Amino acid sequence: LPTRLSYFTLGLVMRLLTQLTQRQIIRRIVKQEQINIIHQPIPVSPKEPSMLFGMGVPIIIGPMNGGMDYPPGFQKLPNKTVNFTIFLGRKFSNIMNQLIPGKKQAALLIVANERTRKALPQVACKQVIEIVENGVNLSIFKPLKSASTSLPIKTYYVFIGRLVDWKSVDLLLLSFKKASLNFPISLTIIGDGTERDKLEKQAQELNILSTTIHNTGKVFFAGWLSQEKCSEQLQQSDVFVLPSLLECGGAVVLEAMAKGLPVIATNWGGPADYLDTSCGILVEPSSREEFIDSLANAMLTLAHSPQKRLDMGRMGQKKVMQHFDWEVKVDQMIKIYHKVIAEHLVSSKIQS
């Protein structure tokens, strides 16, 4: 099954069965350990029902992130079966959340953005706050050296992510080919997935495939790497590129920013929530051809300006440290737990 179709069909059934099993375990733990709050962070879909209700303690669900479609210029990309299945799922989400009332009875729902808030079922709890779901482990993703502002011999680009269709690495390869004709650049693709063989074949046909890293005008597929190895590769790169057309979040964007890299990404979904002109370039997904051209132009813009890359990298790093450090976000969640518990105690006393 296609990735999205599998997620909304077989995946949904399996996740609900898992939650059903979890209910029994959670009930026992709440009673034995005198737990006074439950936090359910996954699944992140705003429309997916939650089996966690009636536990005797307040339940927080989130941060959720979703409610996304392809950009208007790419609406025809998914096949009709996938589109129809997603359409039906969204239409029946209110009924499902009425029958399985976890989100209806929750004490608090957390969403990553306004788009996700609007995607919540109509029957969902009205106590909703916004907190971006992603963060960065700054003990792993931290800069180790300062970038040079002198014009380099060549510029190193890097992509990190699953190799699935909606990440649009096929378009990145076409953009890279165009840009490489005008400046000495290289591209490293980190990650694995169902599209890898197809993408390597495409790179070979474009005559840009390399078996070694950082070859001028070439693309190297590094495969899956650990977080520590990804951090090392970011450190050796100049610009991070994420051409995804259906990215609800994009934690890897924040990780690249933490390493002091400027980011080129699609002006759609999660990356558009994280980036602004101070720390990256957002490419409009207006149409396939325009997107390829604009992405290539963005790559060339940063290739020609080391100072711009350095300035953007510093601003992105500052933004991550202020708003997306996991330590900061943990403190934020603890305050929310205390607030919800206090409100529950007051409500219980009033009812008594």
Pairing of the two strands 209-210 and 128-130 = unpaired
Examine the domain organization and report whether 53 and 114 are in the same domain: yes
Burial of 255 (0-12, 13-18, 19+ CB in 10 A): buried
List, in sequence order, the alpha helices (H) in the chain. Answer: 3-8, 10-33, 80-91, 93-99, 102-105, 114-119, 169-180, 196-205, 227-235, 251-258, 270-274, 288-303, 306-323, 326-351
List residues bridging with 136 in a β-sheet.
Answer: 325
| List of residues 6+ apart from 253 with CB closer than 8 A | 240, 242, 263, 265, 270, 271, 274, 275
Q: Are residues 118 and 258 in the same domain?
A: no
| CB 283 within 8 Å of CB 260 | no
299 CB neighbour count, 10 Å cutoff? 27
The string of pLDDT tens digits covering residues 255-285 is 999 999 999 999 999 999 999 999 999 999 9
Assigned domain for 210 exists = yes
pLDDT given for residue 350 in this prediction: 76
Do 96 and 217 belong to one domain? no
CATH number for the domain spanning 77: value is 3.40.50
pLDDT less than 70: residues of the chain: 1-9, 76-90, 144-152, 352
Helix (H) or strand (E) holding 188: strand 185-190
What pLDDT does residue 5 have? Answer: 60
At 91 the pLDDT is 72
Encoded tokens for 119: 């995607």
Q: Determine the 3-state secondary structure of 134 from DSSP.
A: coil
pLDDT score, position 3:
61
Task: Please give the radius of gyration of the chain, using alpha carbons only, rounded to the nearest integer.
Answer: 22
pLDDT for position 78: 56
Q: Indicate if 50 and 174 belong to the same structural domain.
A: no
Q: Are residues 163 and 196 in the same domain?
A: yes
- Total domains, the chain: 2
CATH (domain of 280): 3.40.50.2000
Please indicate, yes or no, if residue 285 is contained in any of the structural domains: yes
- 150 part of a folded domain: no
Q: Within a domain: residue 140? A: no
- Closest by CA position to 190, among listed 138, 242, 153, 142: 242
Could you tell me if 311 and 241 are in contact, meaning their C-beta atoms sit under 8 angstroms apart?
Answer: no
Q: Is residue 143 part of a domain?
A: no
Give the C-alpha separation, 260 to 11, whole Å.
37
Rounded to whole angstroms, how far apart are CA atoms 155 and 313?
Answer: 15
Residue 223: φ, ψ to 5°? 80, -170
**Does 196 share its domain with 109?**
no
Residues 32, 119: one domain?
Answer: yes
The pLDDT value recorded for residue 43 is: 85
How many residues make up the chain in this entry? Answer: 352
186 and 319 in a single domain? The answer is: yes
The confidence score (pLDDT) of residue 266 equals 98
Pair (302, 161) in one structural domain: yes
Q: What is the DSSP string of 87-130?
A: HHHHHTHHHHHHHSBHHHH-SEEEESSHHHHHHS-TTS-S-EEE
331 and 319 in a single domain? The answer is: no
Residues 252 and 347 in one domain: no
| Residue 234, domain extent | 155-323
C-alpha dist (Å) from residue 76 to 11, 18, 80, 81: 24, 34, 9, 12
Do 113 and 197 belong to one domain? no
Angle at which helix 251-258 crosses helix 227-235, to 10 degrees, equals: 50
Instruction: Answer yes or no: is 9 within a domain.
Output: yes
Q: Is residue 44 part of a domain?
A: yes
Q: Collapsing DSSP states into helix, strand and coil, what is residue 180?
A: helix
User: Does residue 141 belong to any structural domain of this protein?
Assistant: no
